[in-house]
Amino acid sequence: MADFRNEIEKRRTFAIISHPDAGKTTLTEKFLLYGGAIQLAGAVKGKKNARHAVSDWMEIEKQRGISVTSSVMQFQYEGYCINILDTPGHQDFSEDTYRTLMAADSAVMVIDASKGVEAQTRKLFKVCVMRDIPIFTFINKMDRDAQSPYDLLDEIEKELGIGTYPMNWPIGSGVDFKGVYDREKSEILAFEGDKELRGQHEVKAHEIDLNDAALETILGESLCQTLRDDVELLDGAGYEFDLEKVRHGKLSPVFFGSALTNFGVEPFLESFLRMTTSPLPRQTSEGVVDPFSKDFSAFVFKIQANMNKAHRDRIAFMRICSGKFEKGMEVTHVQGGRKIKLSQPQQMMAQSREIIDEAYAGDIIGVFDPGIFSIGDTICTGKKVQFEGIPTFAPEFFCRVQQKDTMKRKQFVKGTTQIAQEGAIQIFQEIASGMEEVIVGVVGTLQFDVFKYRMENEYNVEIRMETLPYSLIRWIDTPDVDLKKLNLTSDTKKVQDIRGRYLLLFSNEWSIRWALEHNEGLELSEFSR
C-alpha cells in the first residue's frame, strides 16, 4: 500500500455555489479563519478593502459584483485538508460551474434566507444536481428577516428535485433571531449578535427537553411554543435522514445560520466533514481508478489564460484523482500522446499562489500550459487511462464578431482561439472562410461581455459584435455529407467548428424538423462527438 494513504484520507474537496450576494465569500472566509489560513475577516474579499486578494478579479466582476472566474483554496482544519473550489455566481456561467463540479467531490450551496432560490441561479443550482454528488445547503443571513423555513425547504425540493433534511431549525429570524435547535444533539445554539471569532456563540442548553419550562425563559413564550410545534412537526413529517441518499446527491442536509456573524458556521463545517468522504474511485475508459493507487492520474477541468498580467501565462487546472504528485515528475499526456514534465505546479493557498512540491488525490494543481492542454484531458503515470470527457453545453446565443482594425488580425485570431480553448466561448466559422470574422456561441449572454472585455483588455483588439437570430445548434453526424445539396429553410446557417466539423444553426425547432424531413438520412446531434 502506498505510503500516502493518510494524506488522501484527510482530503475533502468541494465546490461552493451561490447566487451573487448570498454570502459565499463571507462563508468561505469564515472557513479559512477556522483553518487559520487567514487571520483577518475581510481578507478574502471586502468590497470595501482589497477585494482582489484571492483571485484576479476582472473589472467586469467589480462593476457588477459577479464572480466570473473561479479559484481554488486549500486549508487545514482539525486534521482535514480541505480544498474549496469557488464558482461563478451567475447562471450564464453554468458551464464553468459544471466543469468545476467535475473536479469536486461534493458541493455547498449557499442560499439567502430572504430570497430563496433566485431566478438567476436556478440553472446553476440544477447543474449541481446533474453530477449526483452530495449537496449541502447553508441557508444564510438568518440575522435578517427570512422566509419561512418550510417555504425555503419546499422551494429547494421543487426547484432542484432533491429531498431536504433540516439538520438544525431556526428559532425566529431577523431581530427576533434567537439561534438554532440542533436536531441531532437536541441542543440550542444561541445567537448573540456579531461574533467574529470562533467558538464564541454559546450553547445554551444541552440535551434539552423541549417541554422544560426553563426554555421559555431563554426563548420567550411565543418562540418557545413555535419551536416545540416545529420540532414536533419535523419529527412527524416525512423528513428522514439517510446518509446513503446524501452521498448520492438525492438528499441535501440543510443548515440555517449567518455567515457574517459567524453563527452556525463551525457546526456546519463539522457536520459537513463528517458526512462527506475522502476522494472516491473514479471511472475511466479502462475501468475504475483507485485514489490510493501508486500511479498518479489527473484531468484538466479548467484552463485560464492571463491570470497573471505580468506574465501573460496560461494555467491548466487539474484535479488529481489518484496517487501523489511530485514537482517535476514526468507524466503521460494521454490526448497529446506524449510524455511531458509538469513544470511550475501551483496551488492557491488562501491568499496567494505558491509553487508546490507535492500534492495528493483530491487536490487541485495549476500547471503552466504552453497551449497543449484541452479541457477534459487526462495526464497520468503508469498504465494509460482516460477519464470520462467533460461535456460541452450547447450554446444558445450567437454573435458575428469582427475586429474593428483589420491590422490587428493576428491578435484577433489569437484572442478568439485562446478564449475558445479555455471553454469561455465556442467559436464557429462560415464554411471555407478565413478568420476575418467568427461566429461566437455562448450559453449565457454575460459571456459575450466577458469575451469583449477580454479581447479589448488582454489582446488589445476592439471588436464589433452583431447579434444573430439563432438559438439552436446541431452537429451534422452524417458521414461525407454534401453541404450544397442540403435542403434547408432560409434561416438555417451552415458553419464549421474549430475542429472542422460541420454544423447547422437554427432559429427554431420547426426548422430542425424541416431539415430532418427534407434530407433523407441526415443525422443531427446536440453534442459534438
Distance in Å, CB of 11 to ligand G4P, minimum: 24
Flag whether 311 is marked binding. no
> How far apart are CB 120 and ligand G4P at their closest, in Å?
12
Is 141 annotated as ligand-binding?
yes
87 belongs to an annotated ligand binding site = yes
Q: Which helix (H) or strand (E) segment is 76 a member of?
A: strand 72-77
140 annotated among ligand-binding-site residues:
yes
Residues whose CB is less than 8 angstroms from the CB of residue 242 and which lie 6 or more positions away in sequence, other chains included = 251
- For the CB of residue 20, give the shortest distance to ligand G4P in the complex, in Å: 4
Nearer to ligand G4P, 262 or 511 (CB): 262
Least distance CB 16 / ligand G4P (angstroms): 9
Q: Please, what is the minimum distance in Å from the beta carbon of residue 287 to ligand G4P? A: 39
Grid cell, residue 177, equals 433571531
Closer by beta carbon to ligand G4P, 62 or else 312: 62
Listed in sequence order, the residues at least 6 apart from 236 whose beta carbon sits closer than 8 Å to its beta carbon are none
Other CB atoms within a 10 A radius of the CB of residue 225 amount to 13
In the complex with ligand G4P, the residue whose CB is nearer, 143 or 290, is: 143
The answer to whether the annotation marks 190 as part of a ligand binding site is no
Q: In Å, how far from its chain's centre is CA 54?
A: 16
Site for ligand G4P, rule CB under 6 A: 18, 20-26, 45-48, 89, 140-141, 143-144, 258-261
Other CB atoms within a 10 A radius of the CB of residue 167 amount to 22
236 annotated among ligand-binding-site residues? no
- For CA atoms 149, 151, 157, 159, give the dihedral sign: negative
Give CA–CA dist 361/364, Å, rounded.
8
- Find, among 364, 366, 359, 318, the residue nearest to 7 by Cα: 359
Question: For the chain, how far is it from start to end, CA to CA, in angstroms?
Answer: 38
The response to whether 24 counts as a known ligand-binding position is yes
Give yes or no for a contact between 324 and 4, defined as CB atoms under 8 angstroms apart.
Answer: yes
Residue 267 labelled as part of a binding site: no
Query: Alpha-carbon distance 479 to 482, whole Å?
Result: 9
DSSP state of 179: E
Provide, rounded to whole angstroms, the least separation between the CB of residue 121 and ligand G4P.
Answer: 10
| Residue (42 or 382) nearer to ligand G4P, CB | 42
Measured at the CA of 507, the angle between CA 501 and CA 508, to 5 degrees, comes to: 110
Q: Which residues are annotated as part of the binding site for GTP?
A: 18-25, 86-90, 140-143
Q: Which residues are annotated as part of the binding site?
A: 18-25, 86-90, 140-143
